Structure 1
Amino acid sequence: MTEHRLGVWQGTATVLGGVLGPGMLVLPHLAAAAAGPGSVLAWAALIIVSVPIAFTFALLGLRHPDGGGVAHFAGTAIGRWAYAVVGWWFIAAVPIGTLAGALAGGIYTADAFGWDSRTATVIAFALLAVAFVANAAGLRTSGRMQVVMVGLLLAVLTTAIVASLPAVSAERFEPFLPFGFGGVSSAVGVLIFAFVGWEAASHLSADFAGRRLLTATALTLAAITVIYLSVAVTVVGSGAASSPVPLTAMMRTSLGAAAEPVTGVAALVLTFGAINTYIAGASRLGVALAQQRLLPRRIASSPHRSLTVLAAAIAVVGAVALVRPIGLDPLLRATSACLAAVMFIGALAATRLLPAGRMRATAVAATALTALTLVLSGGYLAVPAAIAAVGFTARTIHSRRVPALITVPGAPDLPPHEARTGTAGAPTEPGPAAATQPRHL
């Protein structure tokens, strides 16, 4: 029987930390640059988009709890190939995305305190190290730390909003649509990065008891609605939208020089919350993929071993980025393309796994909206395509070397003992009844 370790507040902090990431440091400025005051409409559209996507993954986690997360959902609804490709996309995106997020937080923090770029790199790797240590200590410890970090984050954002309120002027909202609705659409494209994260919590679905995942998702949606709209209005109304460091500009209106260190703390908290959630989810996905023989068991037979492999992967990506500077923009876009593909397949799977009625209607809406994110990823869709190609090529080579596997209908490539007894989370080809019934460990 699975030991449920995440309570409502720890779970909410984990989900919220995955959604509210380092992007909040720069997205208000980028959105306002694209749409002017009309960026408020883009933030509102983002919230509307988030609702069906967030609840789709929460409902899937509630009815099909498994460490495989979206990969498990895809495998159950579509087939083993979907389990494999979604798992590979997510686990390959984590080293790239967490490194990019950590570097963004390190750069922002170093800038706030007047430190150089070398210090920014040290800060980035220190954040990653703390996140790995927290996860190695156990999900309960990581969850408690997440509650503290998210509490600090909300305090900093609230301070920025309240500090900038006296400077808000209605005149700054005119003209409201200087670039027309095309500018609003452009801002929506920029802000897509702010809602990736819902799929990460699904990998922790088995660690939630009862309906706590659904409750945590609802609380997270309520929190980001208040935060996103408040920041959108105050960043434009106070004139902070013109600054590339909008949170600092918002707080400077009333805090003066004290705004820099407060913003530095905000950067650390925002960054840690996001990378902590993704590392936690990826470590559990690695174990699930190893159980399905989609990753070598020797590198992901346990969460701790999976964490070690993730740390090594991030170290390799980091070394490459340091030797041949890639830049944050390509890293973030490549990560977003992989996660957009993950969310699309997950939402598509939900249209089969969730029962007819409101749940399935929610899944259909989520599928349509995640399809839009794929379109907006553009040429970066080559990244998930390349990952899938490499993964299937490696599987083909491995299958030729290890032919002694039992193949049974609905459970291909399972070793003999799993073919007889089944494995928790094993993706099978379910019939109509199995596709709509919850599966428990």
Structure 2
Amino acid sequence: MSTHRIGLAQGTAIYVGAILGAGILALPALAADAAGPASLLAWLTLLLFCVPVAATFAALGARYPDSGGVATFVSRAFGPRASAAVGYWFYFALPAGAPATAYVGGQYVAHTLGHGDRTALAVAAVLLLAAFASNAAGLRLSGRIQLVLVGALAVLLAVAVVIALPAADTANLTPFAPHGWLAVGQAASLLFFSFAGWEAVTHLSGEFRDPRRDLPRVTVATLLVVGVLYLSLAATSVLVLGPALAGSAAPLTLLLEHGLGPVAAVLTAAMAMLLTFGTMNAYLAGASRLGAALARDGMLPAALAPGHEPGRVPHRSLALLFVLSALVSAVALTFGTPLAQVMLAASACFIAVTVAGLVAGAWLLPRGSAVWWGAVVAAGVMGVVLLFSGWALLVPLLLGIAALGGARVWARSLDAATA
């Protein structure tokens, strides 16, 4: 049976899809509302902060390419118990994060088209099912789909910028910091999660043809693509929309309306779907492989292990994620759980995974090197961010306890099966 390994183009598309999200369509307005034109500094600062985070995970992935991703790095640094906790944080947060992300995309589509919550739920269901189906078909197909979608998205965003730029007015840059310089920090906190996702794609490090060669190149290409898209869209929004930006629910639609008229809403809805699908597609690819790797290492039932090898599809792990995602969605809809709470719980787990990966990088990477210093500084910053998760810190705590118990049970089962 032949296996498929991803190269530079597909790898970059998957990485870009993991970082970008539907939030880019609304966040320029939210950041401008917090800090005015000075919000551009927040965009630039966070892009620069991405560099040490991305470099750390690229260096670790090149050294230890494995479907376990951050869990593998932590295992190398601190042993299997810590690795089990990190693996559980990511794997069991995905069934909450994926439906929530799909619903955010659905809401944006419904709002842009002037429809209600039923449309949002229907779009979310379609996006979620499409992402699972794409991953079930394997990276050969899902990687190609991601490449096409990210290409289309880049073209659409470029069109939005080019169409709107003739209406740019530098007078919209003044006053530059109407709410003071501290407001730039508030804008940065709003934008922070637009730059997350590096932890998700570490599980794909073993899928590259040559991880040592390809991962650094893919990381640089991703930083360039994300940087150009984010900064150009943010700057154009400020220069063209001016004070109207802060009060806009769909700034990208306003930009497109400058040259396209009513069709702008349809294009914005299409971009929201592309962004949401791309994010879920990348996260599911990573999480499904992580589940198989955890089963391989005796941290989940051995029945989930098939597909952990590079180039294979972890169908059983993916199926479990689908079932859990459906259950989380059903519970949230039944009890009316606020979307913000679901997303905060998932975010706390993903941030915890990022912190663990950066700490592992500080332990494993050459001490005193530039990438080591980047890991140390980024771990400190992300650790502070994690503390602001509040009550949601209970989620990674409980999953960590479950991981320790589960690892003992499944490890015994694995030993008995191989005896």
Identity of aligned residues (%): 45
The CA distance in 2 between the partners of 1:375 and 1:36, in whole Å, is: 27
Which amino acid is 2:10 matched to? Q
Unaligned stretches of 5+ residues in structure 1: 406-413, 420-441
Q: Provide the C-alpha distance between the structure 2 equivalents of 1:198 and 1:294, rounded to a whole number of angstroms.
A: 23
8 Å CA contact 2:298–2:407 kept in 1: the answer is no
Aligned-partner Cα distance in 1 for 2:261–2:51: 37
TM-aligned CA distance change 1:236 to 1:387, over 3 Å = same
Paired residues of 1:189 and 1:376 also in contact (CA < 8 A):
no
Counterpart contact for 2:4–2:139, Cα < 8 Å:
no
- 1:372-412 CA-to-partner distances (Å, cap 9, x unmatched) read 3213434432322232233334456x38xx8x68xxxxxxx
Q: Which residue of 2 aligns with 1:306?
A: 317
| 2: CA distance, partners of 1:383 / 1:376 | 14
Q: Pick from 379, 386, 393: which aligns with 1:381?
A: 393
d(CA) in 2 for partners of 1:36 and 1:300?
50
Whole-angstrom CA distance in 2 between matches of 1:24 and 1:325: 26
How big is each residue's C-alpha offset from its partner over 1:329-374, in whole Å with a ceiling of 9 and x where there is no partner? Answer: 2222222221111011101101122123233223223322322321
2:357 maps to which residue?
A: 346
Q: Whole-Å Cα distance in 2 between the matches of residues 129 and 271 of structure 1?
A: 12
Residues 208-357 of structure 1 mapped to structure 2, 5 A cutoff: 208-210=208-210, 211-239=213-241, 240-302=245-307, 303-356=314-367, 357=369
After superposition, the CA RMSD in angstroms is 2.1
Between the aligned partners of 2:21 and 2:376, the Cα distance in structure 1 is 27
- For structure 2, the 5+ residue unaligned runs are 308-313
1:95-134 equivalences in 2 (<5 Å):
95-134=95-134
How many residues end up aligned between the 2 structures? 407
Instruction: Indicate if the aligned counterparts of 1:67 and 1:203 stay in contact, CA closer than 8 A.
Output: yes
Q: How much has 1:164 moved relative to structure 2?
A: 2.1
Partner of 2:383: 371
| Farther-moved stretch of structure 1 (155-164 vs 96-105) | 155-164
Structure 1 residues 384 and 376: CA distance shift in structure 2, 3 A: same
Mapped partners of 2:68, 2:418: distance in 1: 17
1:163 and 1:253 in contact (8 A); partners too: yes
Shift of 1:114: 3.3
CA contact (8 A) 2:18 2:278 kept: yes
Match of 1:430 in 2: none
Structure 1 residues 38-90: Cα deviation after superposition (integer angstroms, max 9, x where no partner): 11010011101100001110111111000000000001101112111110110
Q: Is the 8 A contact 2:348 2:395 kept in 1?
A: yes
Query: Which one-letter code corresponds to 1:329 in the other structure?
Result: A
* Counterpart secondary structure, 2:403: helix
Classify 1:184/1:376 alpha carbon distance in 2 versus 1 (closer, same or farther; 3 Å): farther
- Report the CA distance shift for 1:250/1:365 in structure 2 as closer, same or farther (over 3 A): same
Q: Output the CA distance in 1 between the equivalents of 2:66 and 2:4.
A: 12
Match of 1:428 in 2: none
